[in-house]
């Protein structure tokens, strides 16, 4: 069997799956103090012995296997988890191969293997919820360099009439500071899901996401873009995002897909909220074969 962990800021989802990708056992553990949470995770995998474990984790986190602090949570706002090394904790307890990546890279890999990106060479997966992050897969490999990408923090040109300064504590009006769930609530004093579809904020949000997608497209040229997360569950946003993307591209990329209606190019993930867990399973399968 293979193990998978979707390590989120509010909960850890752990699964043991067989060779045919059938889930044999699964639990959800609250993200509390590291030792408390990891104790339950370790107990689960001792009850369900696996060949290897793949983890899609919240961050920032060190994901370069060559680094001494591989698997260490870095300067996360979750103070109890700051500098905690998930890899070392699990390795010491279970003594099996473990592969760690970001939650969004894992979700991108899940969609690459079993979702809308099957048959594609590349996929960009963006999550827009409590924060904004993105993962990229090219030919089955996730992207990282000096660190993992932080695509949610690119700067955005705000509309002239939009005077909101943004709520990112580091960059103010970066993408996350303008379109995340907390940004919408900080701006209006109300949660996004409580707003009507015709509220002007959605025009701003769609425009800013469209700008970001233009930037990502020009740099990465993904074959498909998938947008998940709580904010993205507002289905009425997608036509607005596609329109904004096309406006900002302004015909620059001469490709039939970019010139088309974009309904298949920019869409909601096929696997929905399961994408990260599925991707984590494939991380485990990959490390088990190495």
Q: Looking at residue 169, what is its pLDDT? A: 92
Q: For residue 236, give the nearest of 199, 209, 197, 189 by alpha carbon.
A: 197
Q: What are 234-268's pLDDT values in tens digits?
A: 889 999 999 999 999 999 999 999 999 999 999 99
Q: Is 67 exposed, middle or buried (0-12, 13-18, 19+ CB in 10 A)?
A: exposed
Burial 88-112 (b: 16+ CB within 10 A, else e): ebbbeebebbbbbbbbbbbbbbbbb
Q: Three-state SS for 100?
A: strand
- The architecture of the domain spanning 116-269 is 2-Layer Sandwich (3.30)
* Dihedral sign from CA coordinates of 268, 273, 277, 278: negative
Q: Looking at residue 276, what is its pLDDT? A: 97
Q: What are 12-23's pLDDT values in tens digits?
A: 999 999 999 999
Per-residue pLDDT at 118 exceeds 90: yes
Q: For residue 137, give the nearest of 152, 115, 156 by alpha carbon.
A: 115
Which structure tokens are listed for 136? 């990229």
Q: Where are the domains of the chain?
A: 2-105+273-289, 116-269
Which structure tokens are listed for 105? 């890279």
Same fold, 2-105+273-289 and 116-269: yes
Q: For residue 230, give the nearest of 272, 175, 167 by alpha carbon.
A: 272
Instruction: Taking residues 26-36, report their average pLDDT.
Output: 96
Q: Do 46 and 16 contact (CB within 8 A), yes or no?
A: no
Instruction: Taking residues 166-176, report their average pLDDT.
Output: 95
CATH number of 2-105+273-289, picked from 3.40.50.720, 3.30.420.40, 3.20.20.20, 3.40.50.11540: 3.30.420.40
How distant, in Å, are the alpha carbons of 38, 65, 87, 96, 271 from that of 68? Answer: 21, 8, 11, 18, 34
Mean of the per-residue pLDDT values of the chain: 96
**Containing H/E element for 3?**
strand 2-7
Q: Looking at residue 77, what is its pLDDT? A: 84
Q: What is the DSSP letter of 73?
A: B
Q: Do 26 and 13 contact (CB within 8 A), yes or no?
A: yes
């Amino acid at each position: 069997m293979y193990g998978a962990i979707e390590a989120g800021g509010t909960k850890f989802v752990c699964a043991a799956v067989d060779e045919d990708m059938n889930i044999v056992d699964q639990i959800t553990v609250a993200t509390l103090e590291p030792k408390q949470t990891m104790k339950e995770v370790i107990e689960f995998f001792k009850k369900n012995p696996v060949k290897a474990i793949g983890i899609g984790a919240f961050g920032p986190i060190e994901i370069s296997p060559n680094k001494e602090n591989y698997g260490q949570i870095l300067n996360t706002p979750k103070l109890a988890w700051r500098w905690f090394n998930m890899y070392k904790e699990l390795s010491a307890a279970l003594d099996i191969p473990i592969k760690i990546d970001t939650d969004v890279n894992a979700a991108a890999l899940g969609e690459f293997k079993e979702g809308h990106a099957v048959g594609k060479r590349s996929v960009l997966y963006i999550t827009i919820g409590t924060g904004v992050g993105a993962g990229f897969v090219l030919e089955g490999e996730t992207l990282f360099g000096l660190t993992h990408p932080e695509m949610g923090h690119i700067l955005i040109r705000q509309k002239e009439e939009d005077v909101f300064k943004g709520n990112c504590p580091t960059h103010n009006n970066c993408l996350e500071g303008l379109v995340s769930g907390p940004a919408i609530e900080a701006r209006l004093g109300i949660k996004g899901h409580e707003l009507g579809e015709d509220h002007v904020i959605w025009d701003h949000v769609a425009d800013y996401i469209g700008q970001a997608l233009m930037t990502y497209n020009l740099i990465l040229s993904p074959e498909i873009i998938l947008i998940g997360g709580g904010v993205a569950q507002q289905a009425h946003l997608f036509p607005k995002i596609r329109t904004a993307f096309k406006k900002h591209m302004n015909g620059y990329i001469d490709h039939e897909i970019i010139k088309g209606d974009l309904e298949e190019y920019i869409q909601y993930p096929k696997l929905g909220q399961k994408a990260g867990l599925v991707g984590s399973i494939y991380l485990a399968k990959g490390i088990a074969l190495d």
